[in-house]
Amino acid sequence: MLPPGMKLEWLCGGDDMKQEKRRKVISAVRSNSRPHVLVASDVASSSLDIKNVGLVIHFDLPRITPIYEDRSGRAGRHKRGEVVSIARLVDGVLNVNDHKILKELCRTRILENAQIPKVLQSQIIQKT
């Protein structure tokens, strides 16, 4: 449930949403006439410039670092926002694809100031 005055918008690619509808959603979010929550698929992963993004949540981690940086950069401009990344554990073990991207993000110091749970830290460091 959203607080009063907030508006939920969603954005997706493919046949689920026509280009004109996507343009209208982006225009509404950019207008800043009232706070918005934008739920978006991979169609919003690049080339969207939306100012004042306070939070980006990665429900599925991207496979490569530049896409992670691009998506996260929406919130990271001027160090104003936050990024939350959800990693998948199966039977207490980090998913192979999530492990690869998290290890790369740590190696390149992109996650330098991140708060990473200890269970993930140990898996990222131990696995090769």
Q: Which pLDDT tens digit goes with each residue over 18-62?
A: 889 988 888 888 887 777 788 888 777 666 777 777 788 888 888
- Residue 127: is its pLDDT beyond 60? no
- Residue 64: is its pLDDT beyond 80? yes
- Residue 89: is its pLDDT beyond 80? yes
Confidence of residue 63 (pLDDT cuts 50, 70, 90): confident
**Domains of the chain, first to last:** 7-126 (3.40.50.300)
Q: Can you give the pLDDT at residue 65?
A: 86
Instruction: Please give the distance of CA 20 from its chain centroid, rounded to a whole number.
Output: 24
Handedness of CA 122, 67, 64, 96 (dihedral sign): positive
Phi/psi for 68 (5° steps) reads -60, -45
Token pair recorded at residue 67? 């896409």
Instruction: Please give the distance of CA 45 from its chain centroid, rounded to a whole number.
Output: 8
Handedness of CA 10, 28, 67, 118 (dihedral sign): negative
